[in-house]
Copies of this chain bind each other. A is one copy, B any other.
Amino acid sequence: MARRLRKTSYLLEKPVFVENSASVVGTKEGQGPLGPLFDMVGEDDLFQTNNWEEAESTLQKSAVHLALKKAGCRTEDVQCMFAGDLLGQSIATSFGVGGFGIPLFGLYGACSTCGESMILGAMAISGGFAERVICVTSSHFASAEKEFRFPLEYGNQRPLSASWTVTGSGAFLLGTKKEGARARIAGMTVGKIVDYGLKDSMNMGACMAPAAADTIERHMKEFGRTPQDYDRIITGDLGCVGQKALIELLRDKHLDISAQHMDCGIEIYDGKEQDTHAGGSGCGCCAATLSAYILKRLEEPGGWNRVLFLPTGALLSKVSFNEGRTVPGISHGLVLERIS
C-alpha cells in the first residue's frame, strides 16, 4: 500500500525491491566507459537476426532471460510483465517477450518507459496484485533511426545537439523479497506531459528538460526534500545540451541540482572518443545504465544510499514531426535506496 504525498507522489509503505536485473547492449555501448559492467554485449548489432527490429526484440528477450536466470526465478513465478519500446506499435516488445507467456501490460512513454514500467510494477506489488513482476524496455540505434529519422543507408548528417540512440535493454525483476535484492523502490512521482513548444527532433535533450524539471520540482515539494537528500539525481537521456537546460530551468525555481545531477546519456558513451554528439538516448539507455551501473553503486560499499532516477521521454513521431507539431516531454521519477 502507498501513502500518497499530495497529488502526484507516493511513498511505498509496503516496500518493493529490485530483486535482480540484467542489461544487454550493442557493440558501441560495449566499447563505452560502462562496457565492462553490462551483463551481455552483442557480437554485432544484428544479434544474429534478419533485421533491426528482430535484433531489438532479441535484446528484450535476452535481458528478461538473464534477469530471471540471475534471480533463479522461473517465468511461472512472475505474475505480470510491464514492457515497451520506441517503435511504432511497440513491435520490439510484441515479438520479443510474447514467448514468455507472462501476462503483459504494453506501455508507451517514449524513453521514459523504463520509469513508467517500474512505477506500475511497484504499484502492482505494493497494491497486492503480484509477488513478482518483470519490467523491460529497449531501444536499438538502427531501428530508431529508421523509425524517427532516416534508414542508416541514407547516411544523413547529424547536428551536434542530436543524441545517439542506445542499442540496449534492461530488465528488472521487482518483488517483495528483501534478501539478496539490489535496491529498494521507496517512492515515486508520476510524470506529466510538459510542452514548451520546441520542435527540433535533433535536439531532444532540450525538448525533454522541461518535463524532467517539472517532475523534480514536484518531487521535492511533495516529498518535502531538497536535492541534498539525494546522492545523485539521475535523468535518462538529456545529454549535455539537455543537462544545461535542466539545471538552468531548476535554478529559476530556486533548486540547485548541479552537484547531484547525472545523466545516463552522458555516462554511457565517451562523447569525445565515440562521436556520439550530445550523448546517448532511447529506452535502453537509462534501463541498461540502471542495471549495470546505478544499482551497482547502490550495492557496493562506499557507494550511494539514495538516488532519484528519472527516465525522460520525447513524445514525437515521424508523422507529428512532419506535420510541424511540437515535441512534448514526460519524465517519471523513482526513489531508489540502498538496502540497509
The answer, yes or no, to whether A316 is at the interface (CB within 8 Å) is: yes
The answer, yes or no, to whether A129 is at the interface (CB within 8 Å) is: yes
Count identical subunits in the complex: 2
Q: Are A1 and B127 in contact (CB under 8 A)?
A: yes
Q: List the one stretch of A60-68, A93-101, A152-160 in contact with chain B.
A: A93-101
What mask results when residues 309 to 340 of chain A are scored 1 for a CB within 8 Å of chain B, else 0? 00000011111100101001010000000000
Q: Across the interface, which residues of B come within 8 angstroms of A317, CB to CB?
A: 87-89, 91
Q: How many residues of A contact B (CB 8 A)?
A: 63
Known: A87-B319, A320-B89. A95 touches B2 (CB 8 A): no
The answer, yes or no, to whether A79 is at the interface (CB within 8 Å) is: yes
**Which of A80, A94, A104, A192 counts the most B-chain CB atoms under 10 A from its CB?**
A94
The answer, yes or no, to whether A209 is at the interface (CB within 8 Å) is: no
Q: How far is the CB of A83 from chain B (nearest CB, A)?
A: 10
Q: Are A104 and B318 in contact (CB under 8 A)?
A: no
Q: Are A123 and B129 in contact (CB under 8 A)?
A: yes
How far is B104's CA from A119's CA once the two chains are assembled, in angstroms? Answer: 12
Known: A1-B128, A2-B128, A89-B88. A120 touches B94 (CB 8 A): no
User: Whose C-beta in chain B lies nearest to the C-beta of A96?
Assistant: B193
What mask results when residues 45 to 77 of chain A are scored 1 for a CB within 8 Å of chain B, else 0? 000001101100000000000000000000010
Interface residue from B53, B86, B104, B128 paired with A191 (Cβ < 8 Å): B104
**Which of A54, A86, A325 counts the most B-chain CB atoms under 10 A from its CB?**
A325
The answer, yes or no, to whether A4 is at the interface (CB within 8 Å) is: yes
Jot down 8 A-B pairs with beta carbons below 8 A, ordered by A: A8-B80, A50-B323, A86-B89, A94-B328, A97-B193, A103-B190, A105-B119, A106-B109
User: Contact residues of A with B, CB < 8 Å?
Assistant: 1-2, 4, 7-8, 10, 50-51, 53-54, 76, 79-80, 84, 86-91, 94-95, 97-98, 101-110, 113, 116, 119-120, 123-124, 126-130, 146-147, 190-195, 315-320, 323, 325, 328, 330
